[in-house]
């Protein structure tokens, strides 16, 4: 089925110098990574806020590690989908293109995107909570039970951002800069409820970006968006890209 996109959207994208894709768990859903919230969410038994925080980890590291080990295994065995691959093509289409992701699954980089800012960390990395020594997944997953630091016996944790923790400063600053200079800002597959990440699309809009949301369901951002494209990212992004390629050919743009 071929989708129809507004002339305004196609014109804004055709003339855009700088485009940002802001992504959430929904972009990886079609690869087989369950989302956090919604009907196929992985956090049915626990609210994200209850499990993804340092206090919960110190109280019950076995439970938190059981959950992360399971997710690490899922992620190691899946592949990027059509949504991720289309964002790689878009990086080649626009003079400036950035992916700002809340995802920790590394699928954007594995697909081939090179300008990626990870706001919530990366599940492929781990570090010691006591001395900071980094550990690979291989090193932690081969240890039985809760992995411990070989240098100081401290608890090792995944290098992700939990509730109440600051976002990595560099990634945050670069994301804000990219958002504020975007001509078109695509918010894709995120419930847009977790802050401060959820403020990024609004920053872009306030600086004049054309704000486009792609999601099968409306979110708190939908009312602010200039366009809401309802559907799965793995279906909408390739169609949008194909439409842009056709438009460029028509206008004889490079
Ligand atoms: C599809 C699809 C398809 C499905 N195609 N789409 C009150 C008000 C405001 C803020 C706060 C507050 N109380 C506390 C806070 C702060 C808190 C927060 O925002 N809480 C809210 C929940 C209320 N934030 C923080 O604590 C942050 N830090 C912070 O604020 O620091 C300052 C500070 C310091 C000290 C003290 C206090 C403050 C840190 C937030 C860290 C979030 N971490 C997690 C876990 C990462 C590790 C891990 O993965 O295990 O990040 S939580 C989880 O949510 C994960 C995600 O990145 C994040 C966002 O989720 P996302 O990606 O949007 O996924 P879903 O599942 O929610 O949505 C999926 C969407 O996809 C849905 O809309 C579907 O419809 C759609 N979809 N299929 C396209 N095929
Ligand atoms: Zn240590």
- List pLDDT tens digits, range 58-100: 999 998 998 899 889 999 999 999 999 999 999 999 999 999 9
> Distance (Å, rounded) from C-alpha 97 to C-alpha 74?
29
> Distance (Å, rounded) from C-alpha 205 to C-alpha 216?
21
CA of 148 to the centre of ligand 1 (A): 28
> Distance (Å, rounded) from C-alpha 172 to C-alpha 158?
19
Residue tagged 């411990």 (tokens): 148
Model confidence at 182: pLDDT above 60:
yes
Mutation choice for ligand 1 from 22, 35, 199, CB with most ligand atoms inside 8 A? 35
**Length in residues, the chain:** 254
Dihedral sign computed on CA atoms, order 216, 214, 23, 253: positive
Is 140 touching ligand 1 by the criterion CB < 6 Å? Answer: no
Query: Could you tell me which residue, 250 or 112, shows the higher pLDDT?
Result: 112
> Distance (Å, rounded) from C-alpha 185 to C-alpha 19?
6
Model confidence at 144: pLDDT above 80:
yes
Two structure tokens written together for 188 = 């894709």
CA of 162 to the centre of ligand 1 (A): 9
CA of 193 to the centre of ligand 1 (A): 6
For ligand 2, a single-atom ion, the residues with CB < 5 A are: 128, 130-131, 133, 149, 151-152, 154
Active-site residue list: 120
Pick from 187, 181, 162, 175: which is nearest to 23 by CA? Answer: 187
Model confidence at 219: pLDDT above 60:
yes
Is 120 touching ligand 1 by the criterion CB < 6 Å? Answer: yes
Task: Indicate the pLDDT class of residue 55, thresholds 50, 70 and 90.
Answer: very high
Mutation choice for ligand 1 from 22, 23, 25, 172, CB with most ligand atoms inside 8 A? 25
Model confidence at 244: pLDDT above 90:
yes
CA of 168 to the centre of ligand 1 (A): 15
Range 56-60, long-range pairs (CB < 8 A, 24+ positions): 57/155, 57/157, 57/162, 58/155
**Predicted pLDDT at 252:** 78
Distance of CA 223 to the CA centre of its chain: 21
Residue 7 preceded by cis peptide, ω within 30: no
Q: What percent of the chain has pLDDT over 70?
A: 95
- Which residues, in sequence order, are CB contacts of 34 under 8 Å at separation 6+? 25, 40, 41, 42
**Inter-residue contact 112 to 34 (CB < 8 Å):** no
Task: Indicate the pLDDT class of residue 224, thresholds 50, 70 and 90.
Answer: very high
**Inter-residue contact 116 to 108 (CB < 8 Å):** yes
**Inter-residue contact 89 to 73 (CB < 8 Å):** no
Query: Could you tell me which residue, 46 or 193, shows the higher pLDDT?
Result: 193
Is 239 touching ligand 1 by the criterion CB < 6 Å? Answer: no
Is 215 touching ligand 1 by the criterion CB < 6 Å? Answer: yes
In angstroms, the Cα distances linking 62 to 22, 131, 185 are 32, 20, 40
**Inter-residue contact 111 to 80 (CB < 8 Å):** yes
Is 196 touching ligand 1 by the criterion CB < 6 Å? Answer: yes
Is 163 touching ligand 1 by the criterion CB < 6 Å? Answer: yes
Ordered strands of the 96-101 beta sheet = 116-118, 96-101, 18-23, 184-188, 210-215, 227-230
Read off the pLDDT of residues 4-53 as tens digits, 9 standing for 90 and up.
999 999 999 999 999 999 999 999 999 999 898 866 666 566 667 777 99
Residue tagged 């080990």 (tokens): 69
Is 101 touching ligand 1 by the criterion CB < 6 Å? Answer: no
CA of 52 to the centre of ligand 2 (A): 21
Q: Can you name the residues that pair with 213 across neighbouring β-strands? A: 187, 228
Atom of ligand 1 nearest to the CA of 166: 31
Q: Output the average pLDDT for the chain.
A: 94
Two structure tokens written together for 244 = 């842009």
């Amino acid at each position: 089925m071929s989708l129809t996109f507004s002339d305004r959207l196609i014109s804004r994208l055709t003339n855009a110098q700088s485009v940002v894709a802001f992504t959430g768990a929904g972009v990886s859903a079609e690869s087989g990574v369950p989302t956090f919230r919604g009907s196929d969410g992985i956090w049915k038994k626990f609210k994200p806020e209850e499990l993804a925080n340092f206090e919960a980890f110190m109280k019950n590291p076995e439970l938190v590690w059981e959950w992360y080990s399971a997710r690490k295994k899922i992620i190691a065995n899946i592949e990027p989908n059509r949504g991720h691959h289309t964002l790689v093509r878009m990086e080649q289409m626009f003079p400036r293109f950035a992916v700002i992701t809340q995802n920790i699954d590394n699928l954007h980089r594995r697909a081939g995107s090179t300008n990626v800012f990870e706001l919530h960390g990366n599940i492929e990395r781990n570090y010691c909570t006591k001395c900071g020594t980094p550990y690979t997944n291989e090193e932690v997953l081969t240890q039985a039970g809760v992995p411990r630091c070989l240098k100081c016996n401290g608890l090792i944790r995944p290098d992700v951002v939990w509730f109440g923790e600051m976002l990595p400063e560099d990634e945050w600053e670069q994301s804000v800069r990219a958002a504020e200079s975007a001509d078109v800002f695509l918010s894709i597959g995120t419930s847009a409820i977790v802050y401060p990440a959820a403020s990024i699309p609004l920053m872009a809009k306030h600086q004049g970006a054309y704000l486009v949301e792609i999601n099968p369901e409306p979110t708190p951002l939908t009312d602010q968006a200039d366009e809401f494209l309802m559907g799965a990212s793995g279906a909408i992004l390739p169609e949008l890209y194909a439409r842009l390629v056709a438009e460029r050919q028509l206008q004889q743009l490079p």
